[in-house]
Amino acid sequence: MARQYCGQLGKQDNCQVAVSLSAANDHASLPIAYRLYLPHEWADDPDRRAQAGVPDDVVFQTKPQIALDQLRAALAAGIEAEVALTDAGYGTDTAFRDGITESGLPYVVGIQSSTSLWPPGVEPLPPKQWSGRGRRTSAIRRDIEHQPISAKQLALDLPKKAWRRVSWREGSNTRLASRFAAVRVRPAHRDYHRSTPRPEEWCLIEWPADEPEPTKYFLSTLPANISRRALVNTAKLRWRIERDYQDLKQELGLGHYEGRGWRGFHHHATLCIAAYGFLISETGAIPPSGQRGALLIEEHPLPDGYRPRGSPDPT
């Protein structure tokens, strides 16, 4: 969800990071939320804020916190969604994953190879039995011999039969395919503060046949009965968003902001995204992509008495 652009804010040259939320399907994607991320040194500096025109109500938030706010706002506005997708920069954040679950959406998120997991059939030790002395404890446990493992170690320990070749879409020359394993695990990050283990979810791992070790890892709360192919197809949908962002940056200038203010940064992005939305609508209406005359964006009537800017006064 984070995008990095080189530009200027205030009087200091800097590479700025924008957090965005896109709506996507197999054919197109479009950002529906977009906000500049301010690091602590910016958010807590009154002089910098004043120079850049940062609104008073904007406070420091981590990128996952901004992304969750965007997701909640989109759902509150009635945006329909079936699943949330993110890369490992967000998916590794346990609180972020919990926030998506609380919103009512399943997710497929990238994670790092070091993410700690309880492998299939293994879970934390139950709370210690109370001896009758001292304070009762309800926290689940682990000990020296009973520990979670990393996602990478999980992948290396899987038997050969766990890996299957799965294809997901047509590439430029051939259909894309790779080897995947999908197993049910329990995330383990700081679960010793919990009274019950975290629910099981999918761990999807990609290990191309020509690579010495696995290359990508995902966690997903999609249903337990989902097919491996459907799980892979969903995880790989993020390609659509990445591809469209390249067009936004290279063809429409999203990454070319050279202003110095908060408002200008967001106005620039809004115009680029609006232009891209228009192009998506036009492309979708051209056969064979769509039916001629199809309207993909709801058309709102102009208000009574509307007069375009610059038009002569009525006589």
pLDDT at 5: 38
305-314 residue pLDDT tens? 655 555 555 5
The neighbour count for residue 19, using CB atoms within 10 Å, is 23
The neighbour count for residue 65, using CB atoms within 10 Å, is 16
The pTM for the full model equals: 0.83
pLDDT at 13: 39
Give the separation between CA 5 and CA 265, rounded to whole angstroms: 10
Would you state the structure tokens that stand for residue 62, as one six-digit string? Answer: 């981590």
| Helix, strand counts (H, E) of the chain | 9, 11
The neighbour count for residue 11, using CB atoms within 10 Å, is 10
pLDDT at 288: 53
Confidence class for position 301, pLDDT limits 50, 70, 90: low
57-85 residue pLDDT tens? 999 999 999 999 999 999 999 998 999 99
**Percent of the residues in the chain that have a pLDDT greater than 70, as a whole number:** 83
Indicate if the pLDDT at residue 186 is higher than 60. Answer: yes
**Percent of the residues in the chain that have a pLDDT greater than 90, as a whole number:** 59
Is the separation of the CB atoms in 218 and 203 below 8 Å?
yes
pLDDT at 7: 36
Indicate if the pLDDT at residue 89 is higher than 60. Answer: yes
Nearest CA-CA partner of 238 in 257, 216, 259, 255: 216
Give the separation between CA 16 and CA 37, rounded to whole angstroms: 7
Residue range 84-107: mean pLDDT, rounded: 95
Give the separation between CA 289 and CA 247, rounded to whole angstroms: 19
